[in-house]
């Protein structure tokens, strides 16, 4: 079980949020509730999430509108989003979500094992991206240190000494 990941659960019905929490609890991740699209957008301003589970039909706006706004923000641009819907996967209502980079969708009523597997995969992807980002930062730091050391060595050379290659 991988700890430390946060999931954003977005649904305007408290009973659905409770059901999601019950289904996903065995994964051991922190879960943050949002009861509207606006609340979800506020949450992503303050926190990074490993995955967002987003209902297609919210009271204040559609899940596709929320997804579009999520993708317009740097912080949530790459966050995996799973859309929760009673719609068929071929329905025209899902096509815009695919175009906006929705990772996957799950039909209601939810199948617990399927949802957990999809969320676990999203979390794994998120954690791998974070590890890669940290490694890239470390490589840049080490490269800068190496360049600084090389400049210092070059500045210590006596005149007439051949530069190193």
Dig out the tokens for 146 from the structure. 């190496």
Q: Which residues contact 42 (CB under 8 A, 6 or more apart)?
A: 34
Contact between 100 and 64 under an 8 Å Cβ cutoff? The reply is yes
Return the domain boundaries, the chain: 6-126
Question: What's the whole-model pTM score?
Answer: 0.84
Contact between 8 and 41 under an 8 Å Cβ cutoff? The reply is no
DSSP 76: G
Packing angle between helix 37-46 and helix 63-71, nearest 10 degrees?
A: 20
Q: Is the pLDDT of residue 2 over 60?
A: no
pLDDT in tens, 110-150: 999 999 999 999 999 999 999 999 999 999 999 999 999 99
pLDDT in tens, 40-93: 999 999 999 999 999 999 999 999 999 999 999 999 999 999 999 987 766 787
Task: Return the CATH architecture of domain 6-126.
Answer: 3-Layer(aba) Sandwich (3.40)
pLDDT in tens, 127-138: 999 999 999 999
Contact between 143 and 51 under an 8 Å Cβ cutoff? The reply is no
Please list the residues that pair with 145 across neighbouring strands. Answer: none
């Amino acid at each position: 079980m991988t700890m430390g990941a946060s999931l954003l659960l977005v649904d305007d019905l408290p009973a659905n949020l409770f059901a999601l929490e019950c289904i996903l609890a065995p994964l051991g991740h922190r879960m943050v509730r949002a009861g509207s699209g606006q609340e979800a957008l506020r949450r992503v301003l303050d926190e990074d999430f490993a995955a967002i589970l987003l209902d297609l039909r919210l009271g204040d706006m559609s899940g596709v509108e929320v997804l579009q706004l999520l993708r317009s923000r740097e912080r949530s641009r790459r966050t995996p989003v799973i859309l929760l819907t009673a719609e068929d996967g071929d329905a025209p209502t899902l096509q815009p979500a695919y175009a906006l980079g929705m990772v996957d969708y799950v039909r209601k009523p939810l199948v617990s094992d399927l949802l957990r597997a999809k969320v676990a995969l999203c979390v794994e992807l998120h954690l791998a991206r974070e590890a890669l980002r940290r490694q890239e930062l470390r490589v840049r730091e080490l490269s800068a240190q190496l360049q600084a050391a090389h400049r210092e060595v070059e500045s210590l050379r006596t005149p007439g000494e051949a530069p190193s290659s």
